[in-house]
Chains A and B, each alone.
Chain A
């Protein structure tokens, strides 16, 4: 079945970087766009950006621009989100999500989430 499986929880120190993976299966990976969203404790969902898995085109939110780097590896059917210069406010669950024209580009399939904890 169609699914996105993300890498496991991470604990990082302030100033470090983290790279979260999102492995796709059950569909043609290069034909879709993957978005990244995070959810800090008690906060609303925050959109970080998207990557076209096939051609690598990206768009970032203004807030994430400069610290978030999205990439994809078509040979591995995987997308990646790297966040640098981590601070305590980056502690959150990070999700990848697929968009599909079948649902007018809403987010129809989500990864299970990856908890990133930033603590000294």
Chain B
């Protein structure tokens, strides 16, 4: 099973700042099958990034993903008020599909 470890656990930032979230895998993620999701309280996760670096439909270009192998990054440029949420990475290249423990982006 591929274990995903996200860091930091919580990051406190102001609107307009940049957020850099890390996701490290215990084994190489096959073919870059790494996704990022945003989750707000009481809501289902929402797909932001798939294939490590491709934005899903309707996702603003301030969100970008990068990385390969075992190290992946989600960058949010110019944080908007609606971006304060929990972010999860997920690998879906092998079974079982696994998720990281999440990074909370909170307002400073």
The interface of chain A, by Cβ under 8 A from chain B, is: 35, 37, 44-47, 59, 61-63, 95, 97, 99, 103-108, 110-113
Mostly helix, strand, loop or mixed at chain B's interface?
loop
The interface of chain B, by Cβ under 8 A from chain A, is: 33, 35, 37, 43-47, 50-51, 54, 56, 88, 90, 92, 95-102
Contact across chains for A105 and B92 when beta carbons are under 8 A apart: yes
Contact across chains for B90 and A106 when beta carbons are under 8 A apart: yes
Contact across chains for B102 and A110 when beta carbons are under 8 A apart: no
Contact across chains for A47 and B96 when beta carbons are under 8 A apart: yes
Which residues does chain B contribute within 8 Å of A106, judged by CB atoms? 33, 35, 47, 50-51, 56, 90, 92
Contact across chains for B33 and A110 when beta carbons are under 8 A apart: no
A103 to B97 alpha-carbon distance, docked (Å): 16
Contact across chains for B102 and A107 when beta carbons are under 8 A apart: no
Which residues does chain B contribute within 8 Å of A61, judged by CB atoms? 95-96
Which listed residue, B43, B47, B95, touches A107 by the CB 8 Å rule?
Answer: B47
Output the least CB separation between B52 and chain A (Å).
9
Contact across chains for B45 and A104 when beta carbons are under 8 A apart: no
Contact across chains for A59 and B95 when beta carbons are under 8 A apart: yes
Contact across chains for B90 and A107 when beta carbons are under 8 A apart: yes
Residue of B nearest to A6 (CB): B44
Which residues does chain B contribute within 8 Å of A45, judged by CB atoms? 45, 88, 90, 99
A95 to B102 alpha-carbon distance, docked (Å): 17
Output the least CB separation between B23 and chain A (Å).
12
The 12 sampled A-B contact pairs (Cβ below 8 Å) are A35-B97, A46-B99, A47-B96, A61-B95, A95-B44, A97-B44, A104-B50, A105-B92, A107-B92, A108-B50, A110-B45, A112-B43
Output the least CB separation between B30 and chain A (Å).
11
